[in-house]
Structure 1
Amino acid sequence: MNFNIRGAVIHNIHTMNPQELQELVVDSIRQGEEKLLPGLGVLFEVIWQNSSTEERNHMIETLHQSLVKQPG
């Protein structure tokens, strides 16, 4: 069975307003459930594809600095 996660996620959220999108992200992270990770990945992909080089560099630097602080 082949399921298009990207298409399903985008279909389910494409009409959300900014506040609803923020609530979705915050709730998904707060719940910490593994099954929500693919959806968050799709959201990150959309952000990445629609970001400038400067914005991408900032995201990567933020990610890197955050990971360096993590134990393990």
Structure 2
Amino acid sequence: MDLNLRNAIIHNVSGNSQDELRETIVDAIQNGEEKMLPGLGVLFEIIWKNASEDEKEEMLQTLESGLK
């Protein structure tokens, strides 16, 4: 069986409203379950691919600050 995790995650959230996406992200972070990390990674990949260079720079600054 060929399971493409990335496509499955995208399929599960496609068509979700902003509120539903926020709930998904907040729930994954609050639960802190390791199994949720791939989903958050796929969502971040989508954000990154669709961000402008300025938005990417802002995300990197936020990430750097959060890791200090």
TM-score normalised over the length of structure 1: 0.90
Q: Distance in 2 between matches of 1:39 and 1:5?
A: 9
Q: Deviations 1:26-61 (Å, cap 9, x if unpaired)?
A: 000000000000000000000000000000000001
Q: Structure 1, unaligned stretches of length 5 or more? A: none
Q: Hey, what does 1:40 align to over in structure 2?
A: 40
Equivalent residue pairs, number:
68
Q: Distance in 2 between matches of 1:29 and 1:2?
A: 28
Once the two structures are TM-superposed, the CA of residue 5 in structure 1 deviates from its matched residue by 1.2
User: 1:15 aligned to 2:37?
Assistant: no
Q: Distance in 1 between matches of 2:52 and 2:33?
A: 30
**Greater relative CO, 1 or 2 (CA 8 Å, sep 6+):** 1
Alignment RMSD, CA only? 1.0
Q: Structure 2, unaligned stretches of length 5 or more? A: none
